[in-house]
Amino acid sequence: MIKIKFLSVGKTKETWIEEGLQEYIKRLSSEASFEFVWFKDEKSLELQILKEKQVILLDPLGKMMNSVEFADFLFREFEREGSRLSLAIGGATGFSDEIKKGRFLLSFSKMTFTHQMSRLILLEQIFRAFEIKKGSPYHK
């Protein structure tokens, strides 16, 4: 079982986003388990990142990949990190330089999204990555 941890600021208030997240968690339940860790502000989030062994940062200046490249990247990370992955979602202005140093920065858009929409988009792309690896028709 792959373990994926999301680190982000602010709990989901919108029930429809929570339902969307639950839908993808359910679809992935036989392959991956998810943990969501909340922080009250960006500062507390950054302090936690410093304590984590390995965290991928979602940052506006990060590397852009298409869904197939993201699937390859994700499964390489699972292999390298013993089926564990932590992802941190930054704010509109991204992370501080200290945090970014030596960590992988990922971006899915030049556009800015709410933290909640970012979580939803990321989770859908993780689900898509599993479907791509299975060769399912979901991707097309």
Q: Closest CB to a second copy among 14 and 102?
A: 14
Residue 5 CB coordination number (10 Å): 16
Told to check if 41 binds a second copy by CB under 8 A, we report: no
Three-class DSSP category at 83:
coil
CB of 67 to a second copy, least distance (A): 4
* The Cα angle at residue 71 between residues 88 and 124, in degrees rounded to 5: 60
CB of 13 to a second copy, least distance (A): 11
Among 64, 80, 83, 96, binds a second copy (CB under 8 A): 64
Among 76, 112, 134, 136, binds a second copy (CB under 8 A): 112
Told to check if 48 binds a second copy by CB under 8 A, we report: no
Told to check if 13 binds a second copy by CB under 8 A, we report: no
Told to check if 75 binds a second copy by CB under 8 A, we report: no
Q: How far apart are CA 24 and CA 16, in angstroms?
A: 13
Told to check if 134 binds a second copy by CB under 8 A, we report: no
Query: What is the CB-side half-sphere exposure of residue 98 using CA atoms within 13 A?
Result: 5
In which element (H, E) is residue 32 found?
strand 32-39
What is the signed CA dihedral for 5, 74, 115, 11, rounded to 10 degrees? Answer: -20
Q: Which residues bind a second copy (CB under 8 A)?
A: 14-17, 19-20, 23, 60, 64-67, 69-70, 91-93, 108-114, 117, 121, 124-125, 128, 139-140
